[in-house]
Amino acid sequence: MIIDKAEIIVTSPDRNFVTLRITTDEGHVGIGDGTLNGRELAVVAYLKEHVAPLLLGKDAGRIEDIWQYLYRGAYWRRGPVTMAAIAAVDMALWDIKGKAAGMPVYQLLGGASRSGLMAYGHASGKTMPEIFDSVNEHLELGYKSMRIQSGVPGLNAIYGIASQSADTGDSAVRYDHEPARRGALPAQEDWDTRAYLRHIPTVFEAVRNEFGPELPLLHDGHHRMTPIQAAQLGKSLEPYDLFWLEDCTPAENQEALRLVRQHTTTPLAIGEIFNTVWDYQQIIREQLIDYVRSAVTHTGGISHLKKVLDYAAQYQIKSGMHGPTDVSPVGMAAAMHLGLSIHNFGIQEYMQHGAKTNAVFHQTYTWNDGYLHPGDEPGLGVTLDVDEAGKYPYEQAYLPFNRLADGTVHDW
Ligand code: CS2
Ligand code: MG
């Protein structure tokens, strides 16, 4: 099973996606997701110039060896671009391995540890009525757990509010299909942590009063608080029994979470912008988090994220894989195969892709009554329609950035 072709396919149906397609001399084709939101072309260049030529002539079955060759052989290690590129290769090789074996990838990883993967959706709104409507909309879609994001009085554009139309004023461009706004420059949003800290507890009190104590509720702090502010929010949300508070503080300084942990029992989820096990080493070993947030696409693929989660399992930490619309259906399928097989599965984020994306990426994974399943097609179970993909050329797009009232750039 010798690799004789490696192509990079960039397509932009509802948003930009980067897909690596590997073909072997026996005709097996595998695909992998290398999408890095707002920096897609960096991964394309890394794959095209520094990975694809090195794959030709290699045995596609030697997944671990190729992973180590691409990781250690580059000399320069880690980082989002490198690890997304390696992830795309890893996923494509697992896809090929499954097709050659006639088995879905989760079977190759040890078989199913559960019947399905509980997923959470993104309920949001600028106001409480909008939030209630969004929760009901997601309950009707079958979601059994819900992330709640809210507008903040006094702030205009803010992260995570689906009803917020894009800068173009086109309300049809829902935020959750296009978190990265198309255009040559990032959009500026504003932020005020104190206003946010005053408001969010009132949102969860209202949601609990409206929907009761059982519904698992999640919230994404999106990296914006200092550790003591994160501790304050975690403590103020304890009465509302969150499933998790995510990205409560930037975690490059992993020990910052010690302070948060000292003040609150609200479960913590970190890691969607991490890309290797080394980013997690301290926060897993010291049990400073409860959920590992990485997506397969951003963490070196199935092979490496499985290593991260096996390490996390020793500390009773579970998976909470990132699943926004900027993880392609290929990356989502890979997450489902991994999530179905590991013992320490926690929950899977699932922002459903748009119709144009689903026309490009034909999926066999299923969504049923709040649970996902990767399906039993050999490999990952996703095929890319190259002709359909060709209808949507890349369009430059950037994630927004924040400035505070005094103009200081702040984490978005
Ligand atoms: C968010 C993402 O889904 C999440 O938890 O943090 O929407 C994130 O903002 C985007 O994936 C960034 O590309
Ligand atoms: Mg997040």
Answer yes or no: do 57 and 131 share one domain.
no
Answer yes or no: do 50 and 154 share one domain.
no
Q: Which of 295, 228, 288 is nearest to 261 (CA)?
A: 288
Structure tokens at 55: 């794959």
Give Cβ neighbours of residue 194 (< 8 Å, ≥ 6 apart): none
Q: How many domains does the chain have?
A: 2
CA of 100 to the centre of ligand 1 (A): 34
Answer yes or no: do 358 and 329 share one domain.
yes
Residue 48, Cβ density class (10 Å: 0-12 exposed, 13-18 middle, ≥19 buried): middle
Structure tokens at 300: 């070196």
Answer yes or no: do 180 and 158 share one domain.
yes
Query: Domain of 24: which CATH number?
Result: 3.30.390.10
Q: Locate all alpha helices (DSSP H) within 164-253, ordered by sequence.
A: 193-211, 227-237
Answer yes or no: do 291 and 220 share one domain.
yes
pLDDT > 80? residue 173: no
pTM of the model: 0.96
Q: Which of 239, 228, 241, 164 is nearest to 197 (CA)?
A: 228
Which residue, by CA, sits nearest to atom 12 of ligand 1? 37
Strands (E), 197-344: 217-220, 244-246, 268-270, 291-292, 318-319
Report CA-CA distances (Å) from 305 to 8, 110, 178, 218, 290: 22, 15, 26, 22, 16
Query: Domain of 296: which CATH number?
Result: 3.20.20.120
Active site residue 222: yes
pLDDT digits over 52-77, tens only?
999 999 999 999 999 999 999 999 99
Active site residue 143: no
The parent domain of residue 17 ranges over 3-103
pLDDT digits over 107-150, tens only?
999 999 999 999 999 999 999 999 999 999 999 999 999 999 99
**Ligand 1 atom having least distance to the Cα of 324:** 3
Per-residue model confidence (pLDDT) at position 160: 85
Residue 402, Cβ density class (10 Å: 0-12 exposed, 13-18 middle, ≥19 buried): buried
Spot the catalytic one: 106, 159, 196, 291: 159
CA of 75 to the centre of ligand 2 (A): 30
Residue 126 phi/psi, 5-degree rounding, is -75, -30
112, part of any domain: no
d(CA 331, CA 334): 5
189 pocket-lining for ligand 1 (C-beta < 6 Å): no
Spot the catalytic one: 122, 138, 219, 222: 222
pLDDT digits over 313-371, tens only?
999 999 999 999 999 999 999 999 999 999 999 999 999 999 999 999 999 999 999 99
176 pocket-lining for ligand 1 (C-beta < 6 Å): no
Answer yes or no: do 99 and 140 share one domain.
no
Answer yes or no: do 262 and 352 share one domain.
yes
Answer yes or no: do 159 and 92 share one domain.
no
179 pocket-lining for ligand 1 (C-beta < 6 Å): yes
d(CA 157, CA 170): 14
Q: Locate all alpha helices (DSSP H) within 13-117, ordered by sequence.
A: 40-50, 52-55, 63-72, 80-101, 105-108
Answer yes or no: do 159 and 71 share one domain.
no
40 pocket-lining for ligand 1 (C-beta < 6 Å): no
